[in-house]
Amino acid sequence: MAGSLRVEILPRFAGKPLTLDAIKYQGAETFSVTRLSYLLSEFAVQKEDSSWLELGEQFAYLDVGKRRSSFMVNDVPEGRYRAIRFSVGVPQPANHADPAKLAADHPLNPNLNQLHWDWASGYIFMAVEGRYRAGDDLKGYVYHLANDNNLNRLQLAADFQVKKMTGLGLSLDVKHLLHGTRSLSFEQDGSSTHSHPGDAIASALVANAQSAFAVIGVTYSPAELPQEAVKPLYLPAKYESYPFKTSRRFPLPLLPRDNPLLKERVALGETLFFESLLSIDNTVSCAACHAPHLAFTDQIPIARGFEGRFGRRHSMPLFNLAWKSSFFWDGRAKSLREQVLKPIEDPMEMAARMPSVLRRLNNQKSYREGFEAAFGPGEITGEKIGLALENYVLTLTSYGSKFDDAMAGKLELSAAEKRGMELFFTENEPRSQQFGADCFHCHGGANFSDHQFHNNGLKPTKDHGRFEVTGEERDRNVFSTPSLRNVGLTEPYMHDGRFGTLEEVVAHYSGPMHRSPSLSPNLAKHSKNGLNLSKEDQAALVAFLKTLTDPKYDRDF
């Protein structure tokens, strides 16, 4: 008989619960932790005869900020064991395998864990990031443990018995991780590491991790109740599936299981996308701010809606949203079906009322027939409008740029584009003689975005971004990181459209930034004066960014 081992790892500092974004922890400096995420593999348990039982190819992804603190180790034979063993990181075969083949919810799917260096074929085993005080200055640190030689095997004594379901509680103490056997100082040892061969910070993290994990306790409980299968909503009697198309280099997205892509539903969603009946006076459609011929943007700094009213922010492009899990610049919508409905009743956008919209659509034979084909018999509802629009927007993908063709060996980038790519994917870490532009931390992966929220050093305005949603100070002036695909077509830039050209964007990241407590550690780690990239290197970055243009969205193609 085989049982399961549910492992929960609680984050600690000096034995007490770890609080994210609190600059209160003492080491060589006073510091905070804003990110703690890591991968585990190579699980094994020690039997009573001292032999080890390897538990096969199983992986775990844990992330304190996302509250991912537990995982299951399955197929553990029932019996008594003396210890558990695992590795921080991913063994070589999996580290260099093609991640695009992994299921959307697999712990190693890059879109899920945001721990994969797509261009370098390998995972970040552990990411520890935060801010620290150096005198009166607030700076950032970014420690990324990676590379095959840093795979770190740990063994913990734990007397436990595996039954049908056994719980094993562990802790990970950040004080031991950063200030254990080899204590680290952000100022003296360095504020960043990307685990280059011979890197002293990486080797210290490996050594310290040996004492950072500890066993808290063991629990025995009945098996968890199986989750009820997700059922598709409103499936019509007859339908045809819509094939979702993407590149083999992209990780698989987690498409909504209750709203499968159907040709009938996609067609209805596309019609609704261009339908001005969704607005109060029949003058504004979704396409008014997300025009296909403008790469699904509107090319003005601030979106304009009903009666030309200005909204608050720049219209975001709509492609590759299948890989996102929150929407709008502030992330206030948790699904596309929720997001697409909000502009309809927003007084600054379409300014309609849903009951009025439903009456109009229900009064039209073509829509009654379209909704019945997509959802089966029944009245048109706001929920069905959201599902149809979600279906259509999910099909808007972009993966056929010059950059993609170059990666596939179909063509070669120019010298300037290659230099820009080198700068983009190289960290700026003077300690290790690396002087890149450090763009990849927030704009890495196949979508050139981590789909997270960051303060990127802009001079603040009255718009405080995600803070208005969460009310947490760490989210003040924090906004969603957009994909850089088609960035050459989606000007102007930033949440308020303040930069009209890519040259202005690159100059912002090259120069001094507005420093504040919520500034991303990946930017706060740099000098106050910025990266000071040469004019030639700034031009090369712009050249590379333009290689991310997909011809099917290029209005001049």
223 pLDDT band, cuts 50/70/90, is: low
433 pLDDT band, cuts 50/70/90, is: confident
Tokens of 488: 């050459």
Same domain? For 191 and 289 the reply is no
Evaluate whether 517 touches 351 at the Cβ level (below 8 Å).
Answer: no
Per the structure, how many domains does the chain have?
A: 3
Mean pLDDT, to the nearest integer, of 142-163?
Answer: 93
Helix H, strand E, coil C: the string for 147-175 is: CHHHCEEEEEEEEEEECCEEEEEEEEEHH
Which strand (E) or helix (H) includes residue 39? strand 35-47
Same domain? For 13 and 139 the reply is yes
Same domain? For 49 and 139 the reply is yes
Mean pLDDT, to the nearest integer, of 171-189?
Answer: 95
Residue 530 has pLDDT above 50, yes or no: yes
- Sequence-separated (6 or more) residues with CB below 8 Å from residue 209: 88, 126, 152, 154, 177
465 C-beta neighbours (distance < 10 Å), count? 25
**What is the identity of the amino acid at 313?**
R
Same domain? For 326 and 434 the reply is no
Residue 225 has pLDDT above 80, yes or no: no
Mean pLDDT, to the nearest integer, of 381-386?
Answer: 98
- The percent of residues in the chain predicted with pLDDT above 70, rounded, is 97
Residue 517 has pLDDT above 90, yes or no: yes
Rg of the chain over all Cα atoms, to the nearest angstrom: 25
Same domain? For 348 and 452 the reply is no
Q: Please state the φ and ψ torsions of residue 95, each to the nearest 5 degrees.
A: -65, -25
Q: Alpha carbon 113 to chain centroid distance?
A: 7
318 pLDDT band, cuts 50/70/90, is: very high
Same domain? For 322 and 412 the reply is no
In a domain, 498, yes or no: yes
Residue 252 region by backbone torsions, left for phi larger than 0, else alpha for psi between -120 and 50, else beta: beta
Residue 491 has pLDDT above 70, yes or no: yes
Q: For residue 120, what pLDDT is reported?
A: 61
Mean pLDDT, to the nearest integer, of 454-471?
Answer: 97
Residue 368 has pLDDT above 50, yes or no: yes
Residue 324 has pLDDT above 70, yes or no: yes
Q: For residue 556, what pLDDT is reported?
A: 54
Residue 486 region by backbone torsions, left for phi larger than 0, else alpha for psi between -120 and 50, else beta: left
What CATH number should be reported for the domain holding residue 547?
1.10.760.10
Burial class (CB in 10 A: 0-12, 13-18, 19+), 149: middle
Q: Please state the φ and ψ torsions of residue 112, each to the nearest 5 degrees.
A: -85, -50
410 C-beta neighbours (distance < 10 Å), count? 9
Q: For residue 557, what pLDDT is reported?
A: 40
pTM of the model: 0.89
What does the mean pLDDT of the chain come to? 94
- Among 394, 426, 442, give the residue marking a domain's end: 394
Enclosing domain of residue 519: 402-553
- Sequence-separated (6 or more) residues with CB below 8 Å from residue 85: 42, 43, 44, 45, 46, 52, 153, 154, 155, 156
